């Protein structure tokens, strides 16, 4: 088997891997290789903000599909993942949201993650951020990650914001400022007609460095561990050739909440019962590898539009030609937009913290796994912000090419179902406001025959059928101060030297909001630890 040797081996070229590889190449003085199972981010649909849904339907994304989920009435729970340089940041909806300050303080208070409180992570968010409008206490303006206001704001989205305010939701000008609560326009990782992915902002500027190598189409199968030290990664390229990538200093997994724990388990680090079942030699018993899976779950209320147009068929016919001319000749118009431009964070249970996030949009999805609605419609989409349900990731086979065994348990806790009940009730109230009432037709979901009154079984059944991922899987390699955690507070894998995990799988609890910004923050902190800057 051919071998290559580097100082640092980074496994996974998504948001975290791009940030970490770029910093190590620029600051460590050592050689760095970044391994990505997908291809380079050359797909045009990635870089045009409005076409992210086309990128999600291309070879640059795949999905991990759960076992039948009893909490969803036996339905499966598919979770798409980026499979391309930039990972999720190359195929996501580009919403820039960090979560609540209390999320990080809870990591300290409830999970013992000292050094990960809001006062510790805010400076990292700020140094990464190049905000085009906001600054001062909560934002940076000199960082590499361009964060902007949404381009070409849609008038229907503006009306949904006004309806939310009329329904009693405060107005927000900054979901990442002093308070997250409110309704308003998101800030986004898209600017000047260009998606601002981690690959574009962090990795691309460093690619000319001689000490940085990026290997796409290379899938990691197992970590070699000698005398309890991680020494190399066994890799297969897209032609089936095997390669050994050796590490002089460290190996870091940045492959996400499915593939990082899967790789640990294939390498002999995980629960004894699971490894024994698949005949994998146990190098270090770690029961929490693959446990603690969590995701934001949503159930979008959808209504038909009347008298006004949303985005239905905007990518077809003469409309598509017009949008293409606007974009390619004048860098303006719909294609410069991330489409998911507006939303709200609302305290529906009265505890003083938003517990439901809403996406507002002038288009509407169908049932899970089905195409968007085939007419002009809107969505007012409630999502759980701090889910209590916990799933588990395991192995279906010791074959590295096999999909992991995934038990989502998406709405396993009554509290999460109740959060969505409250979310749907408020969504209905928003749609009844004068700002929207004159432009809305029939309710498609949950539908006129579904009651939202307390105790309605019809609503519960409807939610289970409509429930879907918000693309934020986390927690499967959780960090903590105790020996039962997968990684320690500097993200080192317990029981093994020279190995870390630095992606959203280390979150002990999912943050209240989108995960791309927190994932890049985690990777940046990993660089601090590795460079001795913590």
Tell me the catalytic residues: 472
Q: At 10, which helix (H) or strand (E)? A: strand 2-11
Q: Is 322 helix (H, G, I), strand (E, B) or coil?
A: helix
Give the integer Cα–Cα distance in Å for 107 and 507.
Answer: 8
The Cα–Cα gap between 485 and 242 comes to 32
Kind and range of the H or E element at 479?
none
Alpha-carbon dihedral 364, 369, 374, 377, rounded to 10 degrees: -10
Provide the pairing of β-strand 284-285 with 194-195: unpaired
d(CA 18, CA 324): 30
Q: Which residue has the tokens 């209590």?
A: 388
CA distance 9 to 235: 11
Question: How far, in Å, CA of 35 to CA of 108, rounded?
Answer: 32
Of 337, 444, 359, give the one whose Cα is nearest residue 160: 359
Residue matched to tokens 């990972």:
87
Which H, E and C letters describe 56-72, residue by residue? HCCCCEEEEECCCEHHH
Place of tokens 């000319």: 208
End-to-end distance of the chain based on CA atoms, in angstroms?
38
CA distance 163 to 120: 37
Find, among 121, 93, 122, the residue nearest to 197 by Cα: 93
Element (H, E) at 55: helix 52-56
In whole angstroms, give the CA distance from residue 140 to residue 146.
10
Distance of alpha carbon 493 from alpha carbon 477, whole angstroms: 9
SS3 39: strand
267: tokens are 């390498």
Instruction: Say whether 263 sits in a helix, a strand or coil.
Output: helix
CB-hemisphere CA count at 13 Å for 80? Answer: 24
**Residue 89 CA from chain centroid, whole number:** 8
Distance of CA 366 to the CA centre of its chain: 21
């Amino acid at each position: 088997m051919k071998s290559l040797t580097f100082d640092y081996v980074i496994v996974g070229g998504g948001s975290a891997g791009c940030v970490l590889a770029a910093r190590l190449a620029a600051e460590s003085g050592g050689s760095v290789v970044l391994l990505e199972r997908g291809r380079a981010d050359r797909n045009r649909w990635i870089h045009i903000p409005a076409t992210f849904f086309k990128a999600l339907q291309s070879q640059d994304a795949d999905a991990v599909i759960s076992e039948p989920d009893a909490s969803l009435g036996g339905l499966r729970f598919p979770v798409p993942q980026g499979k391309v340089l930039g990972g999720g940041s190359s195929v996501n909806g580009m919403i820039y949201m960090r979560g609540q300050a209390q999320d990080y303080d809870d990591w300290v208070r409830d999970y013992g993650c000292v050094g990960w409180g809001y006062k510790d992570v805010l400076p990292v968010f700020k140094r990464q951020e190049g905000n085009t409008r906001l600054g001062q206490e909560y934002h940076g303006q000199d960082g590499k990650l361009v964060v902007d206001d949404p381009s070409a704001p849609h008038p229907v989205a503006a009306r949904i914001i006004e309806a939310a305010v009329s329904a009693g939701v405060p107005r927000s000008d900054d979901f990442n400022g002093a308070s997250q609560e409110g309704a308003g326009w998101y800030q986004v990782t898209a600017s000047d007609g260009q998606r601002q992915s981690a690959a574009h902002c962090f990795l691309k500027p460093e690619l000319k460095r001689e000490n940085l190598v990026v290997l796409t189409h290379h899938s990691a199968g197992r970590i070699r561990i000698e005398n309890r030290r991680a020494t190399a990664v066994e890799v297969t390229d897209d032609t089936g050739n095997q390669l050994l990538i050796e590490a002089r200093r460290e190996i870091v997994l940045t492959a996400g909440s499915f593939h990082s724990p899967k790789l640990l388990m294939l390498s002999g680090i995980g629960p004894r019962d699971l490894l024994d079942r698949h005949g994998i030699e146990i190098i270090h018993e770690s029961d929490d590898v693959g446990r603690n899976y969590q995701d934001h779950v949503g159930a979008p209320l959808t209504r038909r539009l009347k008298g006004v147009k949303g985005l239905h068929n905007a990518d077809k016919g003469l409309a598509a030609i017009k949008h293409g001319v606007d974009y390619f000749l004048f860098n303006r118009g719909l294609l410069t937009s991330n489409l998911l431009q507006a939303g709200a964070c609302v305290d529906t249970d009265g505890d003083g913290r938003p517990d439901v996030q809403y996406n507002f949009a002038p288009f509407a999805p169908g049932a899970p796994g089905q195409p968007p609605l085939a007419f002009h419609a809107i969505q007012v989409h409630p999502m759980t912000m701090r889910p209590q349900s916990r799933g588990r990731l395991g192995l279906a086979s010791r074959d590295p090419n096999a999909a992991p065994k995934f038990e989502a348990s998406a709405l396993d806790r009554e509290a999460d179902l109740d959060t969505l009940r409250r979310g749907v009730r408020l969504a209905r109230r928003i749609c009844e406001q004068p700002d929207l009432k004159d432009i809305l037709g029939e309710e498609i979901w949950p539908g006129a025959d579904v009651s939202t009154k307390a105790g309605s079984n019809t609503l519960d059944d409807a939610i289970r059928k409509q429930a879907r991922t918000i693309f934020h899987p986390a927690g499967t390699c959780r960090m903590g101060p105790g020996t039962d955690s997968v990684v320690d507070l500097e993200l080192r894998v317990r029981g093994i030297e020279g190995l870390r995990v630095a992606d959203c799988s280390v979150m002990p609890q999912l943050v209240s909001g989108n995960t791309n910004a927190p994932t890049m923050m985690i990777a940046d902190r990993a660089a601090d630890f590795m460079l001795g800057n913590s």
